Amino acid sequence: MDTDILSARGIEFAYGDHTILHQVDLALARGAFVALLGPNGSGKTTLLKILCGILPPRAGRVVLDAHDLAALRRRDIARRVALVPQELNVPFAFTVREVVSLGRTPHIRPLLGEQRRDRLAVEHALELTETRALADRYFSDLSGGERQRVVIAMALAQVHADPAGLAPVLLLDEPTVHLDINHQIEVLGLIHRLNRESHVTVLASMHDLNLASLYFDWLVLLNEGRIVTEGTAQQVLSKERVENVFGAEVIVEMHPARAGAPHIVLMPANGNGKEKSNGR
C-alpha cells in the first residue's frame, strides 16, 4: 500500500522566461513532519502553491492520495490540503471566529449556507489552537503570535471532518518569519502537537535552520529550484552544505539540549560570501 499522502514528480515551473523549479521530486508520507529549507528565491513558496493546486506546474504531476491533482476540483483539493500563508491580510473588522469560519468555504454548498457541521469544525479548530478565548476579539487587535495561531485555526477548519474520513495536509509558508522568539516556539509547538496528536501531515517552509533542526523530523533542502538533499537534520545540515547553499561561513555544532540536532552558528561576514538573488 502506498504510504504517501501527497507527492510531486518531475515538477517544473517558470514565471515567464525565468524557470523557478527544475525536475523537483518530493513525497510526503502520511503523518510526516517535514521542513522545506532554502535561500530566498529558491522556489519554496512556489512549490507549496503547486502542491495545493494554486499554481499549475509547467511539467510534472502532483498526486494526492493516488489521485492526480490536476483532475480534482479546486474545492475537493481545498477540503484536504490547506496552505497557511506568511501573512494574512484581513481588510475588514472581522472577529477571530469569523476569520476561522472562512476556512469552511470549500465545504459550504450554494444557497444552503453554514451548517451545524461547519460550526462544530470552527469550534474544534479554535479548541485545538487554544484560540477560543480570542474568538470574539477583532483579528486586527491581536499580536503576531495570536494572529498566526488564528490563521492555523482557519486552515484546520478548512480541512476538518472530510466526508471520507481522510487525513488532512497542512502546508505552511514560513510560519515563524514575522514572530519574536517566544511566539516562534509557541507556533512550532502547536504545529508539532497537531502532527503528533491529530495526525496532520505537515510541510513547512522554514527560514530559520536552527528551528527546523530542533522541531522537524525530516528536512528537504531546495536551492535554485532543485532539491539538493533531504534527510534528518544531522544528515542535511552539514557545515559544507550550509555554506555552499547559503553562501555564509558557519560553525555547525550539536545542540546542548537536543540530541541529534545540529546548531548553526553564523560567523562575521568577511566579504567573501556569495550573494543570493531575491526572487519568488
DSSP letter for 153, please: H
Full DSSP string of 34-48: EEEE--TTSSHHHHH
Strands (E), the chain: 4-15, 18-29, 33-37, 59-64, 67-68, 81-84, 169-173, 201-206, 218-223, 226-231, 250-254, 262-266
Where are the domain boundaries for CATH 3.40.50.300 in the chain?
1-80+164-233
Residue 15 burial (10 A CB sphere; 0-12, 13-18, 19+): exposed
Give the HSE-up count for residue 152: Cα atoms under 13 Å, Cβ half-sphere: 31
The grid coordinates of residue 11 equal: 515538477
pTM: 0.89
> Which cell goes with 99?
476569520
Q: Which CATH number describes the domain made up of 1-80+164-233?
A: 3.40.50.300
Indicate if the pLDDT at residue 29 is higher than 90: yes
Q: Other CB atoms closer than 10 Å to residue 214's CB: what's the count?
A: 18
pLDDT at 94 over 90: yes
Q: Residues 220-265: pLDDT tens digits?
A: 999 999 999 999 999 999 999 999 999 999 999 999 989 889 999 9
Say how many residues make up the chain: 280
- Distance of alpha carbon 117 from alpha carbon 274, whole angstroms: 53
Per the CB < 8 A criterion, the answer to whether 64 and 118 are in contact is: no
pLDDT tens sequence across 100-143: 999 998 888 776 777 888 899 999 999 989 999 999 999 999 99
